């Protein structure tokens, strides 16, 4: 993150030991709030599955929608002969479990949330994967593993790092073998494309379809007064498990340009984009849908929708508005971590 050029304090004061200590304290407090958020979410996760507000909380729907991405990841793991990996922000360990079970990969997972890690261990034991999986609740910058791995991966966590441009090279240097690989799946575009948004609003406001759309639930979840109104600010200390985490709120609309950061320092072997409209349509025509008939028809059409969405995400005009990006990269042998700003002074 860059400093405000209008700040009159000047470089000397902004890099003073006092300001560095204040920033570090703010980051520690943010990490504590972030861990608490995910602990609370894990404790209440069943309530989210019982009344989902997003397509990712309907397992069989989510599996169908992300299948193209999962297929691509499987091919990459086999093609590059990955035998060990570290998942940063592993949550309940779902990716570690899948890689260990299906590919025999030694999988390490680290997450801030103790509750998530407890669930990751429980699921690993349930699937007899304790010998291939290891999990710890910790800040990844304080994490240690007994070996350098073939693959460093993260699924939706990197964009919350406050100093990613320096923290990522440090993680690469500490955890990844020379010539090793990285697999990152991160949010790419917030919201819908203008065309999709216009279509959805037209459908929701129509007399025919609008009566089937659960407006009240949508407004409750989105914390809006109207369909196209602004989102209400959360109260201080509030934990809204249907909303953004504290780190997400801290850096909302200030996420790093992931593609630029990754391409600057690493060799991009593959780059793909997903969910131009399939996720949005799944929420509109299934999650917030009152009519069982409409939901049934949508399920029947879902394979066609996912296929069309995957095809459209190959076009640059659609990639611009895709919800998620996938980057598969290679660490150049002998590469060195980028020094922090204060180390240059």
How do strand 106-111 and strand 133-137 relate by DSSP bridges?
A: parallel
Does 284 score more than 90 pLDDT?
yes
Distance from the Cα of residue 180 to its chain's centroid:
22
CA distances from 18 to 21, 32, 110 (A): 5, 21, 30
Question: Which pLDDT score is estimated for 1?
Answer: 35
Does 10 score more than 90 pLDDT?
no
138 close to 144: Cβ distance less than 8 angstroms: no
Give the separation between CA 287 and CA 299, rounded to whole angstroms. Answer: 11
**Model pTM score:** 0.86
Query: Where on the phi/psi map is residue 24: left (φ > 0), alpha (ψ -120 to 50), or beta?
Result: alpha
How do strand 176-187 and strand 324-330 relate by DSSP bridges?
A: antiparallel
pLDDT digits (tens, 9 = 90+) for 90-141: 999 999 999 999 999 999 999 999 999 999 999 999 999 999 999 999 999 9
**Percent share of the chain, pLDDT over 70:** 88
262 close to 323: Cβ distance less than 8 angstroms: no
How do strand 324-330 and strand 267-274 relate by DSSP bridges?
A: antiparallel
Which residue's entry shows tokens 């020094």?
A: 339
Distance from the Cα of residue 306 to its chain's centroid:
20
Structure confidence at residue 30 as a pLDDT band (50, 70, 90)? confident
| Mean pLDDT to the nearest integer, 240-264 | 75
Give the separation between CA 124 and CA 126, rounded to whole angstroms. Answer: 5
Tell me if residue 182 falls in helix, strand or coil. strand
Q: Which of 129-143, 178-192, 254-268 is least confident? A: 254-268
pLDDT digits (tens, 9 = 90+) for 207-243: 888 899 999 999 888 888 777 777 777 677 778 888 8
Question: Which pLDDT score is estimated for 8?
Answer: 40
DSSP calls for 72-138: HHHHHHHHTT--EEEEET-TTSHHHHHHHHHH--EEEEEES-HHHHHHHHHHHHHTT-TTTEEEEES
């Amino acid at each position: 993150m860059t400093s405000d050029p209008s700040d009159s304090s000047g470089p000397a004061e902004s890099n003073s030991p006092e300001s560095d200590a204040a920033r570090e304290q703010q980051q520690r407090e943010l990490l504590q709030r972030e861990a608490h958020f995910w602990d609370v979410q894990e404790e209440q996760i069943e309530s989210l599955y019982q009344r989902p507000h997003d397509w990712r909380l309907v397992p069989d729907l989510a599996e169908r929608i992300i299948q193209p991405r999962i297929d691509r990841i499987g091919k990459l793991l086999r093609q590059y002969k990955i035998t060990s990996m570290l998942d940063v922000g592993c949550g309940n360990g779902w990716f570690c479990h899948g890689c260990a079970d299906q590919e025999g990969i030694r999988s390490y997972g680290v997450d801030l949330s103790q509750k998530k890690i407890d669930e990751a261990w429980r699921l690993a034991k349930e699937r007899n994967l304790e010998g291939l999986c290891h999990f710890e609740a910790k800040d990844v910058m304080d994490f240690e593993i007994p070996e350098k791995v073939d693959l460093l991966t993260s699924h939706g966590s990197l964009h919350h790092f406050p100093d990613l441009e320096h923290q990522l090279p440090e993680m690469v240097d500490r955890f990844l073998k020379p010539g090793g690989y990285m697999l990152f799946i991160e949010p790419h575009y917030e919201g819908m494309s203008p065309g999709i948004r216009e279509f959805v609003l037209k459908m929701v406001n129509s007399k025919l379809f609008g009566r089937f759309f659960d407006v009240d639930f949508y407004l409750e979840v989105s914390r809006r007064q109207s369909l196209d109104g602004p989102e209400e600010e959360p109260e201080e200390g509030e934990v809204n498990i249907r909303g953004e985490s504290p780190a997400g709120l801290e850096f909302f609309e200030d996420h790093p340009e992931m593609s630029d950061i990754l391409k600057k320092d690493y060799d991009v072997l593959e780059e793909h984009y997903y969910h131009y409209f399939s996720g949005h349509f799944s929420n509109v025509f299934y999650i917030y849908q009152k009519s069982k008939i409409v939901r049934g028809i949508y399920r029947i059409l879902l394979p066609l929708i996912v296929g069309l969405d995957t095809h459209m995400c190959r076009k640059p005009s659609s990639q611009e508005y895709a919800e998620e990006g996938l980057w598969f990269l290679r660490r150049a042998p002998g590469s060195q971590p980028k020094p922090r700003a204060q180390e240059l002074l």
